[in-house]
Amino acid sequence: MQKNIVLVGLMGAGKSSVARYLSAKLDREVVSTDAFIEEQQKKSIAQIFRDEGEPFFRKREKEAVKEIVKREGIIIDCGGGVVIDPVNIQNLKKNGVIFYISASPGFLYQKIKEKTQRPLMETNDPEARLRQLLAEREVNYRKADHILETTGMTIEQIGGAVIKKLKKE
């Protein structure tokens, strides 16, 4: 059995870019929880939040994780809030190695401040909201098998660190 590589962390941490890098290096398919939900719902995440609300989205997210983890040998690019529900963490760990891609709030904000499709950032002070989300989720992110502090690192450096840790497993 080949374990899944699971990437968690706040928006802007580079999970999707690291997933693509790892896919190219390790010849593994990437499955994004957010893309999975968008495909199932036939709507963007932003539309789901706007039309249905966050509780509806979180329920779909839990269903998506439950479905995705049935596969093996893939790279799972998790939405930033997937760790809110402890059941998601349990399911991801069943057949996966979880990597928390951690970065400072200031670094993350610089990466996302121009992005418009971030429903949780639609506020008067998005940087403060980012810090709040990190504070709320940090304890759950830290349940990952590996924590990578990546502030200032390139995607290649982060991907290399993941591969190095995997070789030690």
Cα 118 to chain centroid, rounded = 14
pLDDT at 169: 76
Residue 169 lies in a domain: no
pLDDT at 111: 75
Residue 154 lies in a domain: yes
Q: What is the mean pLDDT of residues 49-73?
A: 95
Q: In what order do the strands lie in the sheet with 75-77?
A: 30-32, 75-77, 4-8, 96-102, 146-149
Burial of 75 (0-12, 13-18, 19+ CB in 10 A): buried
- String of DSSP letters for 30-78: EEEHHHHHHHHHTS-HHHHHHHH-HHHHHHHHHHHHHHHTTS-S-EEE-
pLDDT at 91: 97
Residue 167 lies in a domain: no
Q: What is the mean pLDDT of residues 52-67?
A: 96
The residue segments making up the domain with residue 126 are 4-162
pLDDT at 115: 60
Q: What is the mean pLDDT of residues 30-56?
A: 94
pLDDT at 123: 66
pLDDT at 46: 87
Residue 141: both structure tokens together: 């992110």
Higher pLDDT, 99 or 128: 99
pLDDT at 34: 95
CATH number reported for the structural domain that contains residue 92 in this entry: 3.40.50.300
Residue 121 lies in a domain: yes
pLDDT tens figures, 101-152: 999 888 887 877 666 566 655 666 778 888 888 999 999 999 999 999 998 8
Number of C-beta neighbours around residue 161 at 10 A: 18
Please give the Cα distance from 65 to 34 (Å, whole number): 10
Domains held by the chain: number: 1
Number of C-beta neighbours around residue 98 at 10 A: 21
